[in-house]
Amino acid sequence: MTSTTPVDKKSPRRGVISDGPVRVGYLRDFDLVGLNNAAVDDEQATKNRLLVAAVKLFADRGYEASSMRELAAEVGVKAPAIYNHFDSKTQVLSTAVDYALSDFLANVLTGLEEFPKQEQLFELLRRHARYKTNDVALARAQDKLVDADFMRRVLPPASYDRYTAALAGYRAIVRDLVIAAAPEAQSDEAVNLPVLVSALIEMVDRVSSWFRPDGSLTGDEIADQCVVIARRIVEP
């Protein structure tokens, strides 16, 4: 995205999560700071490039082994200039995590309430799988970085709390949508609801670990097939 790209308010990638029924109660307090990062000027465009480069650098070389100087070099800015955007490496990381989560949630949740209630789960899972195939290198870097133990150790407490609250909110949304699609899942003695929810989320989330952009199936086809599998799991 360049500085001249107009901000498309209808785009799910840079949109605003509606306050419709899907979000209410879980993520209303998650202010999706990342979505304010649409590159409206050069300054913001540079910041966005720094955040994407940071995720890849930290995942590739390790957070501890990476320096602000290296990050600046990755993006082609002078080392001191990076401090116009971020005070510290910790702030780069926490902003990058916020940005990645916001982008993901906006992508997966925006406009979901326009689908029939019992279809929302499957649409969400389709979007989640597709999201993980859009930019596989970035998705894998995020997967590697977004490790709960690492996050707890490195992020400032307030930032870590935001991160865990967002993940818990997402899980809660998936759980509610499972119940909307298959109310009997609540009292299924063979599979506890949290196990079912985890299985569904991991199936689509891990597509990034095995998807090959040059393979025989497109990201959309794989997402559709994940939905077929999800229906078998949820509507046995």
Which parts of this chain interact with its own copies (CB under 8 A)? 60-65, 140, 144, 147-150, 190-192, 195-196, 198-199, 202-203, 205-207, 209-210, 217, 222, 225-226, 228-229, 232-233, 236
User: What 3-state class would DSSP assign to 150?
Assistant: helix
- Token readout for 56 is 């890849």
Q: Between 2 and 228, name the residue whose CB sits nearer to its own copies.
A: 228
Picking from 231, 223, 232, the residue whose alpha carbon sits closest to that of residue 107 is 223
Query: CA 76 to CA 145: how far, in whole Å?
Result: 23
Q: Which is nearer to its own copies, 113 or 224 (CB)?
A: 224
Q: How many Cα atoms within 13 Å fall on the side-chain side of residue 187? A: 2
Residue 42: exposure state from Cβ atoms within 10 A (0-12, 13-18, ≥19): exposed
The closest alpha carbon to 220, from 139, 143, 131, 140, belongs to 131
Cβ nearer to its own copies, comparing 33 with 148: 148
Count of H helices and E strands in the chain? 10, 0
Least distance to its own copies, CB of residue 146, Å = 10
Sequence-separated (6 or more) residues with CB below 8 Å from residue 206? 132
Shortest distance, position 190 Cβ to its own copies, whole Å: 5
**C-alpha 23: how far from its chain's center?**
15
Rounded to a whole number of angstroms, the minimum distance from the CB of residue 221 to its own copies is 8
- Cα 197–201–205 angle (5° rounding)? 170
Query: Least distance in Å: CB of 115 to its own copies?
Result: 20
Supply the minimum distance, in Å, between the C-beta of residue 233 and its own copies. 5
Would you say 46 or 205 has its CB closer to its own copies?
Answer: 205
Residue type, 101: L
Smallest gap, in angstroms, from Cβ of residue 184 to its own copies?
A: 13
Which residue, 113 or 143, has its beta carbon nearer to its own copies?
Answer: 143
Residue 19 or 147: the one with the smaller Cβ distance to its own copies is 147
